[in-house]
Amino acid sequence: MSGHNNRTRLRLKRLLAIPFLTVVALVSITACGSGTTGASSDKLRLGYFPNITHAIPVLGVANGQLQQALGQTQLATQTFNSGTAAVEAINAGAVDAAFVGPNPAISSWTNSGGTSIRIISGAASGGAELVVRPGIEATADSLRGTTLATPSLGNTQDVALRFWLKQQGLAAPKDSRGDVDVIPQQNAQTLALFKRGEIDGAWVPEPWASRLVQEGGGTVIVNEKDLWPDGKFVTTQLIVSQEYLTTYPDQVRALLAGVLATEMAIAANPTKARADVDAALRELTGDELDGEVLTRAWDNIDITLDPIATSLQADLNHAVDVKISLPVDLNGIYDLTILNQLLTAAGRPTVSAAGLGSQ
């Protein structure tokens, strides 16, 4: 097994699609143009999930792209099952930046009074579905009395499920059993329980949605893309602690340069990127995805650095509606300044904060 892992690591390192000099150039251009020079940090602690919706960090960490961009700053990584745990780590000072969904970012912003984090980039859109056992339909009568799982209480899929159920006239309160029992738990546990028939379904991100379909024989009754204008909504975004961003802007710039380079590599050769992400996930989880699962999951997501900021307010409104979050002013939650400098330097269109922050 160790020989296989070593060969995989070597193959991933050889598959860098964007030369290191490109990353250096992007960092240098924007550093000169920003008018600021931050203090130097010897470490950046990054959190992400071993999921296909986190393809950018999964690939960028595995093939060394992010570490190369950071240069002498050590990249220390930690994987999480959900954004709820990731933002708790940021709030506790255990990580400096993390890839999470919209609702955990909103929660951190709300609980800190707007002082904890900034959203500095998007990473993915799409890739979340409600998968149920055959025979269950997307109707109140069919869903009433079922038990459905989500990755964690208050995470993006948890809020999406509870809000959608409410739209169907079904109550799913967070602190008691309602018309539908929603159980937050780890995705691997959800798959195992679904296969054994102990739960009726789950609203989960990829590749778990596809695994429930392909391995568990489940049926999709909601693809979240169908609930949003043009099928676009933020699934994964990059947040950073405000303290780290203020103290070490050059390290944040370098991280974003690596993120951009990784996104460009994926766009340049998505077939190879899919295989590389699969290999990296196998290293992280010890679990090999079936080829059909991988293809289905990959096709269900859009890799994008656009944070699709217009969907964030809707996410907050949904969370408030199902009593997961309190109302809060999101103005200032985004700081896309560095990302847009990098995009401009690369000849790419800039992205919008939709009036909720810089750029």
SS3 string, 177-210, reads: CCCCEEEECCHHHHHHHHHCCCCCEEEEECCHHH
Whole-angstrom distance, CA of residue 78 vs CA of residue 48: 7
Choosing from 231, 248, 283, the residue where a domain stops is: 231
26 plus 170 within the same structural domain: no
25 plus 132 within the same structural domain: no
Residues 46 and 54: beta-carbon distance below 8 Å: no
CATH number, domain with residue 206: 3.40.190.10
Picking from 219, 204, 220, the residue whose alpha carbon sits closest to that of residue 134 is 219
64 plus 90 within the same structural domain: yes
Please report which residue ranges of 15-133 form alpha helices under DSSP H.
20-34, 55-62, 65-70, 83-91, 102-111
Choosing from 216, 231, 246, the residue where a domain stops is: 231
Whole-angstrom distance, CA of residue 247 vs CA of residue 67: 19
Residues 79 and 227: beta-carbon distance below 8 Å: no
pLDDT digits (tens, 9 = 90+) for 285-325: 998 899 999 999 999 999 999 999 999 999 999 999 999 99
58 plus 171 within the same structural domain: no
Residue 172, class by beta-carbon neighbours within 10 Å (0-12 exposed, 13-18 middle, 19+ buried)?
buried
At residue 53's C-alpha, the angle toward residues 60 and 193, to 5°, is: 125
Confidence of residue 11 (pLDDT cuts 50, 70, 90): very low
Model pLDDT, residue 82 = 85
pLDDT digits (tens, 9 = 90+) for 45-80: 999 999 999 999 999 999 999 999 999 999 999 999
Residues 218 and 149: beta-carbon distance below 8 Å: no
Domain that holds residue 173: 128-231
334 plus 193 within the same structural domain: no
Which residue shows structure tokens 């109302």? 327
State mean pLDDT over 245-252.
Answer: 97
Residues 147 and 153: beta-carbon distance below 8 Å: no
| DSSP 8-state symbol, 229 | G
The count of structural domains within the chain is 2
118 plus 236 within the same structural domain: yes
State mean pLDDT over 100-123.
Answer: 95
66 plus 134 within the same structural domain: no
pLDDT surpassing 80 at residue 272? yes
Of 1-5, 161-165, 216-220, 229-233, give the lowest mean pLDDT range.
1-5
Residues 301 and 206: beta-carbon distance below 8 Å: yes
Chain centre distance of CA 286: 20
This prediction has a pTM of 0.86
Q: CB count, 10 Å around CB of 82?
A: 27
Whole-angstrom distance, CA of residue 78 vs CA of residue 204: 21
Whether omega for the bond prior to residue 207 falls within 30 degrees of 0, making it cis, is yes
Inter-CA distances, 121 with 14, 185, 257, 275, 350, Å = 27, 27, 11, 24, 11
85 plus 161 within the same structural domain: no
Specify the DSSP element, H or E, that contains 157. helix 156-167
Q: Give rounded-to-5 percent helix, strand, coil for the chain.
A: 50, 20, 35
16 plus 27 within the same structural domain: yes
335 plus 285 within the same structural domain: yes
Which residue shows structure tokens 């290999």? 279
106 plus 38 within the same structural domain: yes
Structure tokens at 128: 């979340």
145 plus 210 within the same structural domain: yes
Choosing from 231, 252, 272, the residue where a domain stops is: 231
